[in-house]
Amino acid sequence: MVRSIGADHVIDYTREDPTRSGQRYDLLFQLAGTRSPWDCRRALTPRGMLIPSSGESDGRWIGPLDRLVKAMVLFPLVSQRLALFEAKQSGDDLRLLQELIEAGKIAPVIDRTYQLSETPEAVRYLETGHARGKVVITV
């Protein structure tokens, strides 16, 4: 699915540890938080950049925040860089997205659609971790 929307290289982290493949990347955008920043460093080029976004919390009350703080302490000591991902609301960005969607240049990947009355079923499906795109609730 991700190749169909433009990805050049895809790694299924459930089958392969991308930090131990020997492949090196200039940029890692880590969405799932499945590997520690230290593990990710192995997969970066010497001047590469890691952008962690989120991650598993392992029941910690501060969630993935401790992992990010440790990374922020480590990365100034090495040549690789760390950039924290922060989503900011922007009217200009939303207008640009609207234009791109209306022009047919981008489209969301929708896995399943549920009626509002089926919301509990939709949440259960999301919790399985098998969604291949967005799960939509129609009102």
Residues 74-87: tens digit of each pLDDT: 665 566 767 666 67
Same domain, 111 and 73: no
Q: Are 31 and 11 in contact (CB under 8 A)?
A: no
d(CA 93, CA 87): 11
Q: Which two tokens stand for residue 63?
A: 């969630």
Closest to 30 measured CA to CA, from 46, 45, 15, 19: 19
Counted domains in the chain? 2
Which of 64 and 109 is assigned the larger pLDDT?
Answer: 109
Top mean-pLDDT range of 4-8, 37-41, 102-106, 121-125: 121-125
Q: What is the amino acid identity at position 80? A: Q
Beta bridge partners of 125: none
d(CA 36, CA 17): 12
Which of 117 and 3 is assigned the larger pLDDT?
Answer: 117
pTM here is 0.52
Same domain, 17 and 81: yes
Same domain, 74 and 57: yes
DSSP 3-state assignment of 33?
coil
pLDDT of 96 higher than 90 = yes
Same domain, 82 and 44: yes
104-130: b (≥16 Cβ within 10 Å) or e: eeeeeeeebebeeeeeeebeebeeeee
The last residue of one of the domains, among 87, 103, 127, is 87
Same domain, 106 and 57: no
Same domain, 78 and 130: no
Range of 45's domain?
A: 1-87
Which of 62 and 96 is assigned the larger pLDDT?
Answer: 96
The last residue of one of the domains, among 45, 69, 87, is 87
CATH number at residue 17: 3.40.50.720
Q: Are 80 and 46 in contact (CB under 8 A)?
A: yes
Beta bridge partners of 44: 25
